[in-house]
Amino acid sequence: MVMGARILLAALAVVVVGCAAPNESLSITPSSRATFSGTRTEYAQAMVACLQKKGIAARFNVDDGGVPGVAMQSSGHAQNQQNLAVYDECAAELPAQPDATTDADFKVMYQHLVDQTSCVQQAGYDTPQVPSWQSFLEDAHAKNIDWDPTILVPVASRDSVRKSCIDQDRWW
């Protein structure tokens, strides 16, 4: 799976920004829902604030690879289910996470992956061959991006390389 795709998937597993006020009525349809305009860190922090406001023990967390996210305490299956339900409520209340959909978005993603590839190589590791822009774009439109510049890095070093070569705060 591509790092860009991992970033998007991580963002989905991660968090959101800004919680609606308790008396504020939100009527957002998918076609009119605002898109979040901050960083992934800000999105995670907003999700934490929303979860805490709703009584969930949540905290902002950055994993070993530098990915910002949300950590929620749980005492078992029932608590996990409650946490996920409240997480979904907050996700519905917050602006939608950005999603790469246009050729311009995919160009930004492609350039980030090219830059990451260069960084991984400068760190002394082999990388997969960089696909052509056209090939990448075709894969992106097919939702089949399979390019991870760190895939050939030994597992023991991968988190460290990702942390130094990949800006996990970018959406794509």
Q: What is the pLDDT of residues 34-79, one digit of tens each?
A: 889 888 899 999 999 999 999 999 999 988 778 899 999 988 999 9
Is 8's pLDDT higher than 70? no
Are residues 81 and 107 part of one domain? no
Answer yes or no: is 172 within a domain.
no
Answer yes or no: is 53 within a domain.
yes
Which of 72, 93, 114 is the endpoint of a domain? 93
Which of 40, 61, 93 is the endpoint of a domain? 93
Are residues 138 and 56 part of one domain? no
Is 116's pLDDT higher than 50? yes
**pLDDT for the residue numbered 170:** 81
Answer yes or no: is 49 within a domain.
yes
Q: Round to whole Å and give the CA distance between 60 and 55.
A: 15
Q: Round to whole Å and give the CA distance between 144 and 134.
A: 13
Instruction: Provide the whole-model pTM.
Output: 0.65
What does the pLDDT look like over 94-105, one tens digit per residue?
A: 999 888 889 999
Q: Round to whole Å and give the CA distance between 160 and 162.
A: 5
Are residues 109 and 52 part of one domain? no
**pLDDT for the residue numbered 160:** 92
**Joined tokens for residue 130:** 């960089």
Answer yes or no: is 171 within a domain.
no
Which of 93, 124, 157 is the endpoint of a domain? 93
Answer yes or no: is 98 within a domain.
no
Answer yes or no: is 138 within a domain.
yes
Are residues 134 and 110 part of one domain? yes
Are residues 149 and 122 part of one domain? yes
pLDDT classification of 20: cutoffs 50, 70, 90: very low
One-letter amino acid for residue 80 of the chain: N
Is 4's pLDDT higher than 70? no
Answer yes or no: is 133 within a domain.
yes
Report which DSSP code applies to 96: B
Q: Name the percent of the chain lying above pLDDT 90.
A: 58
Average the pLDDT over 134-147 and give the result: 92
- Report which of 93, 81, 87, 92 is spatially closest to residue 21, judged by C-alpha positions: 93
* Residue numbers of the domain that contains 156: 103-165
Are residues 108 and 73 part of one domain? no
Q: Round to whole Å and give the CA distance between 98 and 36.
A: 6
Give yes or no for a contact between 148 and 2, defined as CB atoms under 8 angstroms apart.
Answer: yes
pLDDT classification of 25: cutoffs 50, 70, 90: very low
> How many domains, the chain?
2
At 70, which helix (H) or strand (E)? strand 68-72
Are residues 114 and 85 part of one domain? no
**pLDDT for the residue numbered 22:** 38
Are residues 85 and 7 part of one domain? yes
Cα distances from 82 to residues 46, 91, 92, 95, 112, in angstroms, run 19, 14, 15, 22, 37
Are residues 131 and 64 part of one domain? no
What pairing do the DSSP bridges indicate for beta strands 68-72 and 58-62? antiparallel
Are residues 108 and 63 part of one domain? no
**pLDDT for the residue numbered 32:** 65
